[in-house]
Structure 1
Amino acid sequence: MKPFLAICRLLRKLNGFSVKPSSLVTFSTSSYLGGQKKKSSYEAVDEAKYSRLVRSVLSKASAQTPESLFKEDEILYGPVSKHKAPEQEQQVRVPQNWFPLFNEERNVKPHTSASSGPLKIPLQRNVIPSVTRILQQTMTPEQRSFLEKWKQRMVLELGEDGFAEYTSNIFLQGKQFHETLENILSLEENFKGREEHLQCGFIKSVQHILNEISDVQALESAVHHKALKYVGLLDCVAEYQGKLCVIDWKTSEKPKPFIRSTYDNPLQVVAYIGAVNHDAHYSFQVRCGLIVVAYKDGSPAHPHFMDEELCSKYWAKWLLRLEEYTEKQKVQKLD
């Protein structure tokens, strides 16, 4: 320690500076002790400049907001593709001219007994549009495109004449199916014991549905909604599992286990329900609907029951289609 202090005093005399001895001096046996220590690259950094840079970055980071982060992401990676839930993609439309589906002034149960025979009011041909026409004239572009592609595919497979024959046979099968059901459900003919009907695949398909139907009130009967100005010809009004329904019979070559597979059929059913409830020819009120999809191969038909809540939802959609049809007619008259 004495030699080290002597050296310090000597250096102070020669150069005019002082070196304070450390309170703790350690010695190492490392081979680097005798050599000059190599400078690290970090020692050459301007510490003042670096500290200002750090403070600048930290101050900016603290001022970041979700909006500024989204803007930076958009610049770096492009705009964000925003996908909304299906029910939020389109704004919910509300009918401008609301009319109630149900008629609270009427009883649910019919005043007259079905023993007098179901109603069969003939359809009067006039200028009032039918439910079928309104739905056809207000199909969405997607529906039109689907039908057009289906027609093109069928024409390609069958040819023009073959496609015409195919559509004619489909229409004939549907007509015969409805006529047979009308005979079965009317009081003129008892379904039990009439095995010849079971030879028809469509009738075999709906047999389990027929067993659930009772108290038929109307068959192939016309309806007229005077307030909303449309007419229609419903298939059947009867009780299904104890609930009075407007029943619509459909045929299909493909299975339709879900109501969404029936396209505009629910709108057709609620249009008939609304007309029945406000048509003076009918003394009762209907609050439910039923779509029955029958199959030619005889496989069990799919029944799609529509309760009051579901009917009310489709009624709002029907009113929108009715308004759309009215607007189109006004535009055509102006043209």
Structure 2
Amino acid sequence: MKPLLPICRLLRLLNRFPVKPSPPVSFSTSSYLCSQKKKSSYEAVDQAKYCRLVRSVLSRGPVQTPESLFKEDDVLYGPVSKCKVPEQEQQARVPQHWFPIFNEEKNGKPHTNGSSSPLKIPLQRNMIPSVTRILQHTMPSEQSFFLERWKQRMVLELGEDGFAEYTSNVFLQGKQFHEALESILSPQENLKGGEEHPQCGYIKSVQHILKEIGSVQALESAVQHEALQYVGLLDCVAEYQGKLCVIDWKTSEKPKPFIQNTYDNPLQVVAYMGAVNHDANYSFQVQCGLIVVAYKDGSPAHPHFMDEELCSKYWAKWLLRLEEYTEKQKNQSIPKPE
């Protein structure tokens, strides 16, 4: 306790003398006072740009795949489905020259004789553009952007040669799948060695669809719309659940449970429907469409049925794409088909 005694005496002595209070401290916003403070180098950094950089670096995984890149894009930019055309703009766009998809003068029904062979008209090369060509040259800018970005990323992952081999294999698998279906649906041909067929996964995928198909009228057959001047090669015309349809067979590496996932395929189907209904080579009329998406792993295919009302809506969109192609061709931005 002794060391504390001098301190206590000192405090008593200080209490005897008055202590003047210090003047109040005021803050000034003058340039002089602000200049006295040392400026941090971090204040000059673009915070928004820095945050985006950090987020981009942290979001990258050890292995980049097309699926992971698309997921990353969804996080950074949001799902693509959110970017929709305003309803007013959609309603404002109507075909300038309307042409019906159905032919009032054609009331014929398909042949019911099972012994008759399906139509298989070869596609003739001429100056008339094909449905595929028209859709490719009028692809929406957003869809074209994502397709090109996907190609670039696949090239980065697989290399130029690897991507060329990948696309070649996809094309070959699709061709073999269509040939196998043609053999199955043709009454005069049978699929041999189905268990060892390279497309047995796709065939297994569509088994539940094939059970609902009958009265095949056309297989891999060419169609031409004389009035609208376009041609195409349809996959199949047959009855699905009792309704005559233009059927389009598709393969996919990922599920497509909704018709919106099929991009321009509905436009392709209705284009073939309109051509069939106005082509003199076909005595019958088609009022429905069907898109079947098959999977290599054998999982059940997704059927997308298009009734008369839905086909009419897509037909209006097809006429718009056809007018756009014609306008571009007039402006010589598209070379004429050989």
TM-score (norm 1): 0.71
After superposition, the Cα gap between the structure-2 partners of 1:99 and 1:85, relative to the gap in structure 1 and judged at 3 Å, is closer
Aligned to 2:158, the other structure's residue is in SS state: helix
Instruction: Tell me, yes or no, if the aligned pair for 2:267 and 2:318 is still in contact at 8 Å.
Output: yes
Whether 2:133 is the aligned partner of 1:133: answer yes
After superposition, the Cα gap between the structure-2 partners of 1:166 and 1:195, relative to the gap in structure 1 and judged at 3 Å, is closer
Greater shift after overlay, 104-113 or 244-253? 104-113
User: Displacement, 1:84?
Assistant: 10
Report the Cα distance in structure 1 between the residues aligned to 2:210 and 2:334, rounded to whole angstroms: 49
Aligned to 2:11: none
Instruction: Tell me, yes or no, if the aligned pair for 2:237 and 2:244 is still in contact at 8 Å.
Output: yes
User: Displacement, 1:105?
Assistant: 1.8
Report the Cα distance in structure 2 between the residues aligned to 1:234 and 1:204, rounded to whole angstroms: 22
Instruction: Tell me, yes or no, if the aligned pair for 2:194 and 2:200 is still in contact at 8 Å.
Output: no
- One-letter amino acid of the counterpart of residue 161, structure 1: D
After superposition, the Cα gap between the structure-2 partners of 1:199 and 1:157, relative to the gap in structure 1 and judged at 3 Å, is closer
Aligned to 2:318: 318
Aligned to 1:216: 216
TM-score (norm 2): 0.71
Report the Cα distance in structure 2 between the residues aligned to 1:173 and 1:108, rounded to whole angstroms: 36
Report the Cα distance in structure 2 between the residues aligned to 1:324 and 1:244, rounded to whole angstroms: 30
Greater shift after overlay, 108-117 or 189-198? 189-198
Query: What does 1:157-236 align with in structure 2 at a 5 Å threshold?
Result: 157-190=157-190, 195-196=195-196, 200-236=200-236
Query: What does 1:96-115 align with in structure 2 at a 5 Å threshold?
Result: 96-107=96-107, 109-111=109-111, 113-115=113-115
Report the Cα distance in structure 1 between the residues aligned to 2:334 and 2:119, rounded to whole angstroms: 41
Report the Cα distance in structure 2 between the residues aligned to 1:334 and 1:220, rounded to whole angstroms: 27
Report the Cα distance in structure 1 between the residues aligned to 2:333 and 2:165, rounded to whole angstroms: 36
Report the Cα distance in structure 1 between the residues aligned to 2:259 and 2:272, rounded to whole angstroms: 17
- One-letter amino acid of the counterpart of residue 200, structure 2: C
Q: Deviations over 1:157-195 (max 9, x none)?
A: 101110000000000000000011001100123569955
After superposition, the Cα gap between the structure-2 partners of 1:196 and 1:160, relative to the gap in structure 1 and judged at 3 Å, is closer
User: Displacement, 1:330?
Assistant: 0.2
Aligned to 1:298: 298
Whether 2:275 is the aligned partner of 1:275: answer yes
Residue segments in structure 2 that go unaligned for 5+ positions in a row: 1-82
Report the Cα distance in structure 1 between the residues aligned to 2:121 and 2:325, rounded to whole angstroms: 26
- One-letter amino acid of the counterpart of residue 330, structure 1: K
User: Displacement, 1:106?
Assistant: 1.8
User: Displacement, 1:114?
Assistant: 4.3
Report the Cα distance in structure 2 between the residues aligned to 1:334 and 1:255, rounded to whole angstroms: 34
Instruction: Tell me, yes or no, if the aligned pair for 1:277 and 1:285 is still in contact at 8 Å.
Output: yes
Greater shift after overlay, 319-328 or 91-100? 91-100
Aligned to 1:263: 263
Greater shift after overlay, 243-252 or 184-193? 184-193
After superposition, the Cα gap between the structure-2 partners of 1:242 and 1:190, relative to the gap in structure 1 and judged at 3 Å, is farther
User: Displacement, 1:112?
Assistant: 6.2
- One-letter amino acid of the counterpart of residue 328, structure 2: K
Aligned length: 253
Query: What does 1:140-151 align with in structure 2 at a 5 Å threshold?
Result: 140-151=140-151
Aligned to 1:94: 94
After superposition, the Cα gap between the structure-2 partners of 1:87 and 1:334, relative to the gap in structure 1 and judged at 3 Å, is closer
Q: Deviations over 1:33-64 (max 9, x none)?
A: xxxxxxxxxxxxxxxxxxxxxxxxxxxxxxxx
- One-letter amino acid of the counterpart of residue 131, structure 2: V
User: Displacement, 1:115?
Assistant: 2.0
Aligned to 1:330: 330
After superposition, the Cα gap between the structure-2 partners of 1:252 and 1:194, relative to the gap in structure 1 and judged at 3 Å, is closer
User: Displacement, 1:110?
Assistant: 1.3
User: Displacement, 1:231?
Assistant: 0.2
- One-letter amino acid of the counterpart of residue 309, structure 1: E
Give identity over the alignment, percent.
84
Query: What does 1:116-127 align with in structure 2 at a 5 Å threshold?
Result: 116-127=116-127
Report the Cα distance in structure 1 between the residues aligned to 2:326 and 2:90, rounded to whole angstroms: 22
Whose Rg is larger? 1
Residue segments in structure 1 that go unaligned for 5+ positions in a row: 1-82
What RMSD over aligned residues (CA atoms) do the two structures have, in Å? 2.3
Instruction: Tell me, yes or no, if the aligned pair for 2:205 and 2:295 is still in contact at 8 Å.
Output: yes
Instruction: Tell me, yes or no, if the aligned pair for 1:108 and 1:287 is still in contact at 8 Å.
Output: no
Poorly superposed stretches of 4+, deviation over 6 Å: none
